[in-house]
Structure 1
Amino acid sequence: MASAARIRARLALSVSATALMLGGAPALAQTSGSQAESGPAVVDDIIVTAQKREQSVQDVPIAVTALSSEALQSRQIEGGSELLRAVPNVTFSKANFSMYNFSIRGIGTKAVSASSDPAVAVSFNNTPLIRNRLFEQEYLDVARVEVLRGPQGTLYGRNATGGVVNMFPELPSFDSEAFVTGELGNYDTKRAQAMVNIPLGDTFAVRGAFALTKRDGFDYNSFNDTHVNDRDLFTTRLSARWEPTARFRANAIWEHFEEDDNRSRTGKQLCTTDPGPTQVGSAAVVQPYTQDQLSQGCLPGSLYDDAAYGAPNGGSFGPIRLLSTSVSLGFDANGQLSYPIPLGSDPYEGIVQSRDLREMSTSYDPVFRAKNDVFQVNLEFDLTDTLTLYSQTAYAKDDYYASQDYARYVSNPAFIDSTQIFDFDGTPLPSTITPGGIYTDPQLGPSDRILSVDLSQSDNRQWYQEFRLQSDMDGKFNFSVGANYLDFKSQDDYFVFNNTFSMIAEYFYNVSLGGGGKGTVPCDENRPTECVYVDPNPLSEINGEGHNYFRSKNVIHTRSWAVFGEGYWDLTSDLRLTTGLRYTEDRKVTTPYPSQLLLGADLDGTPGAGTGGYVRSGYYALPDIEQQWEAVTGRLVLDWTPDLSFTDDTLIYASLSRGYKGGGTNPPRLDLNPGVVEYLPLSSTFDPEYVNAFEIGTKNTLLDGALRLNTIAFFYDYKDYQVSQIVDRISLNENFDATIWGLELEAVYKPTANFQIDGNFGYLKTRIADGEGSINVMDRTQGTDGWTVLRPWIQVPSNCIAPTEYVERILNSPFGPELANFAISALCAGSSRFGTFNPDFASSLPFWAFYGFEYDPLTEAPNGGRGFEADLSGNELPNSPSWTANIGAQYTWFMGNWDLTLRGDYYRQGESFFRVYNTEYDRLEGWDNVNLSVKLEDTRRGLILQAYVKNVFDDAPIVDAFTNSDDTGLTTNVFTLDPRLFAVRLTKTF
Structure 2
Amino acid sequence: MLKLNNTHEPQTIGTTQKSHITRKTLGVLFAIPFATSAVARAVEEQTQAHKVPTELEIIEVTAQKRVTSLQETPIAISAFSRAMLDDQDIEDAQDIQYAVPNAMVSNNAGYNVRGVGDNAISATADPGLGVHINGVYVTANTIQNEFYDLESIELLRGPQGTLFGRNTTAGVLNSITRKPTDVFEAALTTEIASFNGLRTKGYVNIPLSDAVLQRFAFNTVKRDGYTENVAPNVGFDSIDGRDQFSIRSSTTFDFSENANGFLFAQYFKENSDRAPRTGVLCTSDPLLGCDNATVSSQYPNSDFTDGSLANGALAPTLAALGFATRSDFYNTKLDGSARVNPSDPRKVRQDYQPRFDVEDLLISFEFNYDFGEHVFTSVTAYHDRSSQAFADFDNADGADALFIPQSLLLPEGRTEPTTRYSTARSSESESEQWSQELRFASFKDGPFNYTAGVFYLQYDAESYGKFYQPEMTAIAGALGLPDELALFNFDTPDIATTSWAIFTEAYYDISEDLTLTMGLRYTEDDKEVVTRAISPLSFLDPRFDINNSYVDGEGAWEEFTGKIGLSYSPNLDMTDETLFFGTLSRGYKGGGINPGASDSAFPTFDPEYINALEVGTKNTFAKRSLQANVTVFMYQYDGLQVGGILGDGATFNTNVDADVAGAEFEFLALPMDGLRINLNLALLDSEINEDFFTSPDIADPSGSDPVNLNGKTLTFSPEKSVQFGIQYTHEISSNWEIAYRAQTFWQDEFYSRLYNVPSDKQEGWQQTDVSVTLRDMDDVWEFEVFVKNASDEASITGSSVANSLVGRYRTPLYLDPRTYGVRATYHFN
| Equivalent residue number for residue 464 of structure 2 | 493
> Distance between the aligned counterparts of 1:661 and 1:926, measured in 2?
30
The answer as to whether partners of 2:431 and 2:461 remain within 8 angstroms in 1 is: yes
Alignment of 1:577-596 (within 5 A): 577-596=516-535
Contact 2:280 2:299 in 1 (8 A): no
Q: Give the structure 2 partner of residue 357 of structure 1.
A: 345
How far off its partner does 1:597 sit?
4.2
Seen in structure 2, the aligned counterparts of structure 1 residues 157 and 323 have a Cα distance that, compared at 3 Å, is closer
Per-residue CA shift, 1:757-777, capped at 9, x if unaligned? 002111000010131232442
Map of 1:240-639 to 2, 5 A cutoff?
A: 240-275=251-286, 295-303=287-295, 307-316=296-305, 317-321=307-311, 325-327=315-317, 339-341=322-324, 345-350=327-332, 353-382=341-370, 384-417=371-404, 437-441=405-409, 443=413, 445-446=415-416, 447-507=418-478, 510=479, 521=480, 533-535=481-483, 545-553=484-492, 555-600=494-539, 608-609=541-542, 613-615=544-546, 620-622=549-551, 624-639=552-567
Q: CA deviation at 1:301?
A: 2.6
Counterpart CA distance in 1 for 2:394 and 2:315 is 23
Asked if the contact 1:323–1:339 (Cα under 8 Å) also holds between the matched residues in 2, the reply is no
Match of 1:765 among 685, 694, 702: 685
- State the 1:598 CA deviation: 2.6
1:91 matched to 2:91: no
Assess if the C-alpha contact under 8 Å between 2:302 and 2:327 holds in 1: no
Counterpart of 1:70, as a letter, is A
Q: In 2, distance between residues paired with 1:497 and 1:581? A: 49
Deviation at 1:586, TM superposition (A): 0.4
Partners of 1:324 and 1:339 within 8 A in 2: no
Q: Tell me how far apart the structure 1 counterparts of residues 317 and 520 of structure 2 sit (CA, whole Å).
A: 65
Q: Secondary structure at the match of 2:697?
A: coil
Match of 1:79 in 2: 92
Q: Deviations over 1:867-915 (max 9, x none)?
A: 2x33322221011000111000000012321110000001011010011
CA contact (8 A) 2:190 2:823 kept: yes
- The alpha carbon displacement at 1:409 in A equals 1.4
Contact 1:725 1:963 in 2 (8 A): no
Q: Which amino acid aligns with 2:806?
A: T
Q: Does 1:228 align with 2:167?
A: no
- Cα distance in 1 for partners of 2:533, 2:399 equals 33
- Taking the aligned partners of 2:649 and 2:362, their CA distance within structure 1 comes to 34
Deviation sequence 1:490-518 (CA, Å, 0-9, x none): 111111111221012113xx2xxxxxxxx
**What residue in structure 2 maps to residue 203 of structure 1?**
211
In the TM superposition, residue 964 of structure 1 has moved relative to its aligned partner by: 2.1
1:718–1:738 CA contact under 8 A, matched in 2: yes
Could you say what secondary structure the match of 1:463 adopts?
Answer: strand
- C-alpha distance in 2 between matches for 1:599 and 1:888: 58
Q: Tell me, what secondary structure is at the counterpart of 2:769? A: strand
Matching of residue 876 in structure 1 with residue 713 in structure 2: yes
Superposed CA RMSD in Å reads 2.1
**CA deviation map 1:276-316 (0-9, x unaligned):** xxxxxxxxxxxxxxxxxxx122111334xxx3533243442
**CA distance in 2 between partners of 1:440 and 1:718 (Å):** 47
Gapped runs of 5+ residues in structure 1? 1-34, 276-294, 331-337, 418-436, 511-520, 522-532, 536-544, 602-607, 672-680, 782-788, 790-799, 801-865
Q: Are 2:46 and 1:117 equivalent residues in the alignment? A: no
Give 1:613 shift.
2.6
Aligned match for 2:222, one of 214, 222, 231: 214
TM-score normalized with structure 1 length: 0.75
Report the alpha carbon displacement of residue 730 of structure 1 after superposing the two structures with TM.
2.9
Q: How far, CA to CA, are the matches of 1:886 and 1:644 in structure 2?
A: 29
1:919 matched to 2:750? The reply is: no
The answer on 1:172 being equivalent to 2:143 is no
Contact 1:492/1:553 (8 A) holds in 2: yes
Q: Tell me, yes or no, if the aligned pair for 2:699 and 2:808 is still in contact at 8 Å.
A: no
Q: How far apart in 2 are the matches of 1:440 and 1:64?
A: 53
After superposition, residues 961-980 of structure 1 pair within 5 angstroms as 961-980=799-818
Q: How many residues are paired up?
A: 766
Q: Greater relative contact order: 1 or 2 (C-alpha under 8 angstroms, separation 6 or more)?
A: 2
The code of the aligned residue for 2:302 comes to N
Judged with a 3 Å threshold, the aligned counterparts in structure 2 of structure 1 residues 440 and 85 are, in CA distance, closer, same or farther, namely closer
Structure 1 CA distance, aligned partners of 2:340 and 2:657? Answer: 40
1:548–1:773 Cα change, 3 Å? closer
Whether contact under 8 Å (1:237, 1:256) holds in the other structure is yes
In structure 2, the CA distance between the partners of 1:686 and 1:478, relative to structure 1 (3 Å rule), is same
Task: Using the TM superposition, give the Cα deviation of residue 151 of structure 1 relative to its aligned residue in structure 2, in angstroms.
Answer: 0.2
Distance 1:214 1:412, change over 3 A: closer
TM-score, normalised relative to structure 2: 0.89
Contact 1:591/1:625 (<8 A) preserved: yes
Residue type at the aligned position of 1:870: V
Q: Which residue of structure 1 aligns with residue 14 of structure 2? A: none
Unaligned residue ranges in structure 2 (runs of 5+): 1-47, 333-338
Is the partner of 2:168 in helix, strand or coil?
coil
C-alpha displacement at 1:185, in angstroms?
Answer: 0.9
**1:941 CA displacement:** 5.1
Q: Secondary structure at the match of 2:310?
A: helix
CA distance in 2, matches of 1:980, 1:328: 47
CA displacement, residues 749-803 of structure 1 (integer Å, 9 cap, x when unaligned): 001221010021110000101312324425657xxxxxxx5xxxxxxxxxx6xxx
Distance 1:670 1:629 in 2: 18
Say whether residues 1:193 and 2:201 are aligned partners. yes
Is 2:825 the partner of 1:894? no
Is this contact kept in 2: 1:551–1:597, CA < 8 A? no
Structure 1 residues 880 and 312: alpha-carbon distance in aligned structure 2, compared to 1, 3 A threshold: farther
Which residue is equivalent to 1:751?
671
- Once residues 472 and 323 of structure 1 are traced to their aligned partners in structure 2, the CA distance between those partners, rounded to angstroms, is 71
Partners of 2:318 and 2:710 lie apart in 1 by 50
Distance in 1 separating the partners of 2:363 and 2:182: 22
Is the strand fraction higher in 1 or 2?
A: 2
- Quick check: 1:301–1:308 contact (8 Å CA) kept in 2? no
- In structure 2, the CA distance between the partners of 1:644 and 1:356, relative to structure 1 (3 Å rule), is same
Counterpart secondary structure, 2:94: helix
- What is the distance in 1 between the residues matched to 2:277 and 2:372? 54
Q: Is the 8 A contact 2:645 2:695 kept in 1?
A: no
> What corresponds to 1:662 in structure 2?
590
Q: Is the 8 A contact 1:647 1:702 kept in 2?
A: yes
Say if 1:329 and 1:581 are closer, same or farther in 2 by CA, change over 3 A.
closer
Equivalent position of 2:649 in the other structure? 729
Q: Is the 8 A contact 2:360 2:384 kept in 1?
A: yes
Structure 2 match to 1:694:
613
Q: Which whole-Å CA distance do the structure 2 matches of 1:771 and 1:686 have between them?
A: 18
Against the structure 1 CA distance between its residues 918 and 322, is the aligned structure 2 distance closer, same or farther, given a 3 Å change threshold?
closer
Conserved? CA contact 1:377–1:393, under 8 Å: yes
Task: Identify the match of residue 903 of structure 1 among 741, 746, 767.
Answer: 741
Larger Cα Rg: Structure 1 or Structure 2? 1
Instruction: State how far apart, in whole Å, the 1-side matches of 2:564 and 2:313 are.
Output: 64
What's the secondary structure of 1:345's corresponding residue? coil
Which of these residues, 101, 105, 109, is aligned with residue 110 of structure 2? Answer: 101
Q: Which moved more, 1:955-964 or 1:386-395?
A: 955-964
Which whole-Å CA distance do the structure 1 matches of 2:331 and 2:188 have between them?
Answer: 55
**Range with bigger deviation, 156-165 or 967-976:** 967-976
